[in-house]
Structure 1
Amino acid sequence: MATMTALRNRAITVSALVPAAALLLAGCGGGPGRGSAAEPSGGPSTGAAAKAAADDAAVPEATTFTTVEGAPADAGRDAADGLVVHPPKPLPVHDRPGGRRVATLPTEQLGGPTWVPVVESSGGWLRVLLPSRPNRASGWIPGDGLRTARTPYLVTVDLGDRRLTLHESGKAVGRWRVAIGAAATPTPTGRTFVMAQLAPKDKKLVLPLGAHSDTLDTFGGGPGTVALHGWHDPSVFGRAATHGCVRVPDDALRKLSRVPLGTLVLIND
């Protein structure tokens, strides 16, 4: 099982992530957009390799840029046990244990490693949250051969109070007033997770989540990914003023930078 320090240290690759960060930042704090309607190990035979390639081509990769049709919706609102997993090779994602394949879970997200939270298990199968549309998409992956870790952290965002709370080992270790989505572009609710850490040059850290705007299909050239990020004007905190992202104070951002990838984020009404 990976240590949390190692997991955090693998989260940021600044030079590789600048283009992705710029794209996603455009979807968090720039001008308004308009709504608009991916290597197997070992030595498989040629036939098996061809079938695997055909299966991969028939379904999308589960990333922030894709929509996964047929993915079971996650209706959960509670914290899980902190188990997060990383696929060392692309994995098939199914709609139920042993069921229909709906996606491929790649090894990377936005230039960093894929870590997703486990929210349910059945036999040797794990149900994980996906970073794709639609919001709250999940899927079942085989549990063998995964890298695993446990994060002690949980992030909760209470939209009614406009407050973010960071929990560590079940205890609140920070609570801040934040800015949330405006009425026309609300922050989506439900369980999601910290998908990546982006550190673009001369900009503050951005933590994209596995969630998207419910009202904007695209934003500023990006896919409408919701993120936790800082903001230059502190007067915004406590207001419903964003295009769906959660803007946080600098102190919150510093503490959130220690949160490992895959950590659950619960966004409540």
Structure 2
Amino acid sequence: MTSWTALLGTTRRRLVAAGTVVVLALAVLLAVLLPGDEPVTRPTADPTPTTASASPAVPDAPPETPAATFPTTVAAAVVDEVDVFAGPDAGAAPVQSLDAGDQLSGQLTFVVDSQQGDWLQVQLPTRPNGSTGWVRAADMSLTSHDYSIEVRLAEHRMLVRQADAVLLDTPVGVGAADAPTPGGTYYLKELLQPPDPDGGYGPYAYGLSGFSTVFTSYSGGEGVIGIHGTDAPETVGTDVSDGCIRVTNEVVRQMVEDIGLPLGTRVTITA
């Protein structure tokens, strides 16, 4: 069986220094990437996704930077299982528990919305999209950064920023009409390295905290959306994928190896 390597850092230099790699089964791969042979499951209710229009030319000048608050605070779990609570109440029972072993990377990462004493309100990498909950600060290691990603579906365009500076402005492939990329605000939750850098997913794939609104399962996974490379660069700039954001291999290498986008980078997807 083909396997993937999960990268628990950002740049290649940091990965080598940390020496952290995990071998992953392709049967539970980051889902909603490219069409596969495995069956997929659609929800019983009709989804209400945002569809993308035909691709216009990408403008030469970058747009104005949308309002954002920096730095972004990122919480990486230092325990294998994280209890999630409805509020900052030590006497309450958790509403759910998240297991790091269920993530392809073996790491649970969250974006922090607020802190109250010993508690953190965080964005959750769970269904439904946009879920939040409270976790114990003692279970987390906190870092911060000022990176963000904006994806404009109708324009087939992605901008990577550091604070107000545009570092990357590039065309992207997005979901096809029957499997659209869901709009919303997510974050990069993991970084994966496919075994074949020239294969369908390119040399790197970021897993996002969001999920397809069409597929409830995909190739043994949960329908996670992602940003990844491709062996078909001519499809970048079109409605082509099963929900993921497709970039050229050169671009995804730039994101990982040159920019070094950290986990917890916010990803805003708009129509």
Give me the TM-score of the superposition, normalised by structure 2.
Answer: 0.73
Contact 2:31 2:224 in 1 (8 A): no
CA drift of 1:134 comes to 1.5
Give the 3-state SS of the residue equivalent to 1:259 in structure 2: coil
Aligned twin of 2:5: none
Q: Could you list the runs of 5+ residues in structure 1 that have no partner in the other structure?
A: 38-76
Aligned twin of 2:263: 261
Pairing 1:114–2:104 present: no
Aligned twin of 1:91: 82
Most deviating of 3-12 and 177-186: 3-12
CA drift of 1:156 comes to 1.2
Aligned twin of 2:96: 103
Q: Cα 1:112–1:13, aligned 2, differ >3 Å: closer, same or farther?
A: farther
Contact 1:79 1:264 in 2 (8 A): no
CA drift of 1:107 comes to 4.5
Out of 24, 29, 33, the residue aligned to residue 29 of structure 2 is 24
CA drift of 1:234 comes to 2.0
1:83-125 per-residue CA deviation (whole Å, 9 max, x = no partner) reads 1011212332112222552222444532343221112333442
CA distance in 2, matches of 1:243, 1:155: 20
Contact 1:156 1:165 in 2 (8 A): yes
Contact 1:27 1:221 in 2 (8 A): no
Give me the TM-score of the superposition, normalised by structure 1.
Answer: 0.74
Out of 141, 146, 152, the residue aligned to residue 147 of structure 1 is 141
Out of 128, 131, 136, the residue aligned to residue 137 of structure 1 is 131
Most deviating of 141-150 and 220-229: 141-150
AA in 2 matched with 1:171: A
Q: Cα 1:260–1:245, aligned 2, differ >3 Å: closer, same or farther?
A: same
CA drift of 1:261 comes to 1.4
Structure with the higher strand share, 1 or 2: 2
CA drift of 1:245 comes to 0.4
AA in 2 matched with 1:83: T
AA in 2 matched with 1:91: V
CA drift of 1:164 comes to 0.9
